[in-house]
Structure 1
Amino acid sequence: MGLIKDFKAFALNGNVVDLAVGVIIGAAFGKIVSTVVEDIFMPIIGFVTPDGKMFADKFAVLQPAKPGDTYHSLDEAKKAGANVLAYGHLFQTIFDFLIIALCVFAVIKAIERFKEKKTIAPTEATKPPPTEVLLKEIRDELRKR
């Protein structure tokens, strides 16, 4: 019975629950950013490039399956068994990471600013009551004598 009680105390600890919520929200946020990058930013970048391909579909053939073969799409090259370098997908993943990192950085900075404002502005609860201040003054006067 002690093991179950200990696990319950651990699982219901505030830090563990906060961490679980953070991981779930982070995963959902990552999916949103990936979708925005894949469906909005990358098509614009692909449109700007000379060949007009989706950026994720950009690739370089390192070695064709048969000498002289040419491929018009990444899927076609992979199905044929060509050795390809899919650099477009890599750049898209790096772009995803950079946007997520930027958003996390912005959230952390906002939280730090909020904490600074909270600690800078002293509340009434942090100020000692007037009777305590008076007693300290009396104590200091008695020490001087």
Structure 2
Amino acid sequence: MGMIQEFREFAVRGNVVDLAVGVVIGAAFGKIVTALVDKIIMPPIGLLIGGVDFSRWVITLREAVTDAAGVVTTPAVVIGIGDFINTIIQFTIVAFAIFLAVKVVNRMRRKQAEQPAAPPAPTAEEKLLTEIRDLLRAK
């Protein structure tokens, strides 16, 4: 029973929950970046370099084999260079977005650290000593 209780404490601890939320948000962000790269960024880049669609860039290692009726019996073996280029661009965008987010968080933490804390209230002993000092000055 102790192991189940220990696992429950581990699973509901803040760090694990935060990690789970981060993974879910990261997956959703990855889909957004994929759509951004595939549908918005790559078409203009392809147009600028002569209408090339990166997703179609492949290195063919073996052509597809077809029979007399034209049916593919063995598919082609290709290396998807264009998909790799798209993935590199997506990674760069995600890494830059994370960099900016971390930079903002660090800037906020620095500002908090720079703000001076309010001086602590005097202790009862300090108040008593202050009263004694003031009484001695008054005499």
- Give the TM-score normalised by structure 1: 0.72
Give the share of equivalent positions with the same residue, in percent.
41
Q: Please say which structure displays the higher CA radius of gyration.
A: 2
Matches within 5 A, 1:58-69: 58-65=57-64
Change (3 A) 1:92 1:133: farther
* Alignment-derived partner of residue 128 in structure 1: 120
* Alignment-derived partner of residue 71 in structure 1: none
2:96 corresponds to 1:102: yes
**1:117 partner letter:** K
**1:57 partner letter:** R
Indicate the SS of the match to 1:130.
coil
- How far apart, in 2, do the equivalents of 1:17 and 1:48 lie? 45
**How much does 1:56 deviate?**
1.3
- How far apart, in 2, do the equivalents of 1:133 and 1:29 lie? 57
* Alignment-derived partner of residue 18 in structure 1: 18
The 10-residue stretch of structure 1 (83-92 or 16-25) with the greater mean CA deviation from structure 2: 83-92
**How much does 1:82 deviate?**
3.7
**2:122 partner letter:** P
Is contact 1:42-1:56 (8 Å) kept?
Answer: no
2:55 corresponds to 1:56: yes
- How far apart, in 1, do the equivalents of 2:62 and 2:24 lie? 42
Change (3 A) 1:132 1:16: farther
* Alignment-derived partner of residue 69 in structure 1: none
**1:128 partner letter:** P
- Provide the aligned length of Structure 1 versus Structure 2: 123
Q: Deviations over 1:98-127 (max 9, x none)?
A: 000000111011110011111111233xx3
* Alignment-derived partner of residue 75 in structure 1: none
- Give the TM-score normalised by structure 2: 0.74
Is contact 1:60-1:87 (8 Å) kept?
Answer: yes
**2:115 partner letter:** A
Indicate the SS of the match to 2:34.
helix
- CA RMSD across the alignment: 2.7
**1:60 partner letter:** I
Is contact 1:45-1:55 (8 Å) kept?
Answer: no
